[in-house]
Amino acid sequence: MKPVETRKTEIDAYAKINLSLDITGTRQDGYHEVEMILHTIPLRDKITITSTVKKGNTRRPTITLQCDDRSLPTNQKNIAWKAANLMLETYPQITKDTDAIEIYIQKKIPVGGGLGGSSADGAGVLRGLNAHFNLGVKKEELMALGAQLGADVPFQVLGGGTGLAAGTGTNVTLLPSLDRGTLLICDPGFSMMTKEVYQKYDSMEIPQTKHPDTSALVALLRAGEQEEFCRHLRNVLEVPAFAMKPELAKIKDAISENGAEIALMSGSGACIYGIFQRESAARKAAWVLETQYGCTTFICDISRLR
């Protein structure tokens, strides 16, 4: 009987926040053209990749996905499964001596929270399989693969920092990282469907004042004018999201009223975050959001993953 070996790799899949989000147009295929300034945060899912090795195997490895959040699909609909399949198709050397690939995801990033949870998992699988099989694939190549999976995946392949994502979100330019203050993330306890928020956006008249000036924001960040940068952050999807869920606007107001330098929705929602100058102020605000609004909160140093 042929000997069987097992190999295991663990990798952290980090969430992101949108420091700004603008929609600049709609393509013929229905996808929206966007400009987003993204920042990695320490909130993360943990991905464990296990493979079994049978010497002399020539068959395509099977992919098995499991997750501790039973609300998520564990088949071909999951972006993590798609990422593993894409790696097998792109790098056939994985097939050599590999009989099966098992992926387990321990979820910490809220589902439907606008924090890029599914994209983080897809990016994590790309990075994880690259390390697991010692492929030596450069991040730029993994980012290009990630563009086939979703708008946030290329940025999240980086695993840290700040970047400008343009086009459909897949063209990424690195920026100087935001490194001021304490971040408070508020999960309201419900999710938003990205497709529905964009559909609502398409049906509305959006005031120009709700759009960020992305070029000006990038210039401020590059000039080190971080206080002024924070003062002009905008997310245009707040308009449709708040129309759909007015309680989100109340949560944003509560964060601002409790000392945040800036409060903003991330992505298409539903999570709202605040940037505070002092951790003590962020913790006081978190208590208010938890006790009065029923939010789940997460506090971190915004510069931890520069």
User: Has domain 4-175 been given CATH number 3.30.230.10?
Assistant: yes
Question: DSSP readout, 30-72?
Answer: SPEEEEEEEEEEEEEEEEEEEEEEETT--SPPEEEEEES-TTS
- Split at pLDDT 50, 70, 90, the class of 128 is very high
pLDDT of residue 303: 79
What pTM was computed for the model? 0.94
Using CB atoms within 10 Å of the CB of residue 302, give its burial: 0 to 12 exposed, 13 to 18 middle, 19+ buried: buried
∠282-288-291 over CA atoms, to 5°?
Answer: 135
Predicted confidence (pLDDT) per residue in 62-95, tens digit: 999 999 999 999 999 999 999 999 999 999 988 8
Closest Cα partner for 268 from 184, 149, 169, 126? Answer: 169
Q: Give the residue range(s) of CATH 3.30.230.10 domains in the chain.
A: 4-175
Predicted confidence (pLDDT) per residue in 154-199, tens digit: 999 998 899 999 988 889 999 999 988 899 999 999 999 999 999 9
Assigned token pair, 137: 């694939």
Q: Give yes or no for a contact between 4 and 49, defined as CB atoms under 8 angstroms apart.
A: no
Q: Give the residue range(s) of CATH 3.30.70.890 domains in the chain.
A: 182-301
Q: What is the CATH number of domain 182-301?
A: 3.30.70.890
Expressed in angstroms, the distance from the first to the final Cα of the chain is 49
Positions annotated as catalytic residues are 16, 152
Predicted confidence (pLDDT) per residue in 272-295, tens digit: 999 999 999 999 999 999 999 999
